[in-house]
């Protein structure tokens, strides 16, 4: 199927959606995803806009979400992500497998929020209390999906602190305490770090190494070193006796 045929398929899909022909809608969605995934990726913005306009196109919506989640750097460069609906944005940033560093997620959410408030100047130092209220209202459903506790102290200081008024007072205090005292306990439900893939291997995107793993590795290395020392001494002993 060429590009024109695929475009025509989407027109038929849109017509079927308006007529509430769910069986045809389901068939067309499946067909497009299974046979024209490359075209969809190349025309992501077009596909995303169509799929997001109807609750009947959930399969296409999920496919678009997965494309962003698995290849955010590639997909986000191909379209204006600030055109995403709030629902679409939240469906992306709440995913554990979103392949983005948390600071990048925060920066993209801020950029999206600014796009929804075109009168705001990007520099928060210029914002009035009303400006912060507008932005906070815009992002109120997005903020719970940001894993602030996964940010480094430098990222928090440089990228979050200027937007302090966007956060709940208790959340901000808990975040501050977590950097001053790593053993502090937060009243918030702290989301686990996202699972980032590196060379197809899943790792935890976190500044903190699991203490149990570190302890196990340390013990193993100590045992290995002791064994090598024992073997070396044994060989030396045999050589001395031999000569």
Can you give the pTM of this predicted structure? 0.74
For the chain, give the mean pLDDT: 84
pLDDT in tens, 21-45: 999 999 999 999 999 898 988 888 8
pLDDT in tens, 164-221: 999 999 999 999 999 989 888 888 888 999 998 865 444 444 444 444 544 454 455 4
Same domain, 1 and 95: no
Same domain, 99 and 198: yes
Domain C-terminal end among 30, 55, 79? 79
Least confident interval from 35-39, 57-61, 125-129, 225-229 = 225-229
Cα dihedral 82, 85, 89, 91 in deg (nearest 10) = -160
State the pLDDT at residue 110.
97
Question: Locate tokens 């992500």: which residue?
Answer: 81
Task: Give me the percent of the chain exceeding a pLDDT of 90.
Answer: 55
State the pLDDT at residue 75.
87
Least confident interval from 9-23, 122-136, 161-175 = 9-23
State the pLDDT at residue 209.
43
What's the domain count of the chain?
Answer: 3
Same domain, 107 and 188: yes
Query: Which of 85, 22, 90 lies closest to 59 in space, CA to CA?
Result: 22
Domain C-terminal end among 79, 96, 127? 79
Per-residue HEC secondary structure of the chain comes to CCHHHHHHHHHHHHHHHHCCCHHHHHHHHHHHHHHCHHHHHHCHHHHHHHHCCCCCCHHHHHHHHHHHHHCHHHHHCCCCHHHCCHHHHHHHHCCCCCCCCHHHHHHHHHHHHHHHCCCCCCCHHHCCHHHHHHHHHHHCCCHHHCCHHHCCHHHHHHHHHHHHHHCCHHHHHHHHHHHHCCCCCCCCCCCCCCEEEECCEEEECCCCCCHHHHHHHHHHHHHHHHHHHHHHHHHHHHHHHHC
Q: Over 80: is that where the pLDDT of 229 sits?
A: no
State the pLDDT at residue 203.
42
Q: How confident is the model at residue 14 (pLDDT cuts 50, 70, 90)?
A: confident
Same domain, 147 and 238: no
State the pLDDT at residue 112.
96
State the pLDDT at residue 201.
42
Average pLDDT over residues 117-123: 94
How many residues appear in the chain? 243
Same domain, 91 and 183: yes
Q: Over 70: is that where the pLDDT of 231 sits?
A: no
Instruction: Give, rounded to a whole angstrom, the gap between the first and last alpha carbons of the chain.
Output: 82
Task: List residues bridging with 203 in a β-sheet.
Answer: 196
Same domain, 98 and 132: yes
- Of the two residues 151 and 211, the one the predictor is more confident about is 151
Same domain, 90 and 70: no
Same domain, 16 and 68: yes
Query: Rounded distance, CA 240 to CA 203, Å?
Result: 49
Backbone angles phi, psi at 141, to 5 degrees: -90, -10
Same domain, 99 and 195: yes
Domain that holds residue 66: 1-79
Same domain, 19 and 105: no
CB atoms within 10 A of CB 126: 9
Same domain, 94 and 126: yes
- Of the two residues 95 and 219, the one the predictor is more confident about is 95
Same domain, 64 and 133: no
State the pLDDT at residue 126.
96
Query: Rounded distance, CA 3 to CA 172, Å?
Result: 50
State the pLDDT at residue 233.
56
């Amino acid at each position: 199927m060429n590009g024109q045929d695929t475009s025509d398929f989407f027109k038929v899909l849109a017509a079927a959606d308006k007529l509430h022909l769910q069986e045809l809608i389901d068939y067309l969605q499946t067909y497009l995803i299974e046979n024209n995934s490359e075209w969809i990726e190349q025309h992501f913005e077009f596909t995303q806009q169509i799929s997001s306009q109807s609750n009947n196109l959930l399969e296409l919506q999920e496919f678009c979400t997965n494309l962003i989640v698995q290849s955010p750097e590639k997909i986000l460069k191909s379209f204006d992500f600030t055109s995403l609906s709030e629902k679409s944005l939240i469906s992306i940033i709440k995913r554990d497998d979103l392949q983005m560093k948390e600071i990048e997620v925060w920066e993209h959410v801020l950029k999206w929020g600014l796009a929804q408030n075109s009168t705001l100047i990007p520099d928060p130092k210029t914002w009035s209390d009303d400006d912060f209220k507008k932005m906070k209202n815009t992002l109120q459903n997005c903020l719970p999906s940001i894993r602030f506790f996964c940010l480094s102290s430098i990222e928090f200081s440089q990228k979050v602190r200027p937007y302090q008024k966007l956060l709940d007072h208790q959340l901000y205090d808990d975040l501050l305490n977590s950097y001053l005292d790593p053993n502090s306990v937060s009243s918030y439900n702290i989301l686990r770090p996202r699972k980032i893939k590196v060379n197809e291997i899943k790792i935890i995107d976190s500044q903190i190494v699991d203490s149990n793993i570190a302890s196990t590795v340390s013990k193993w290395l100590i045992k290995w070193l002791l064994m090598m020392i024992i073997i070396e001494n044994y060989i030396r002993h045999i050589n001395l006796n031999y000569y």
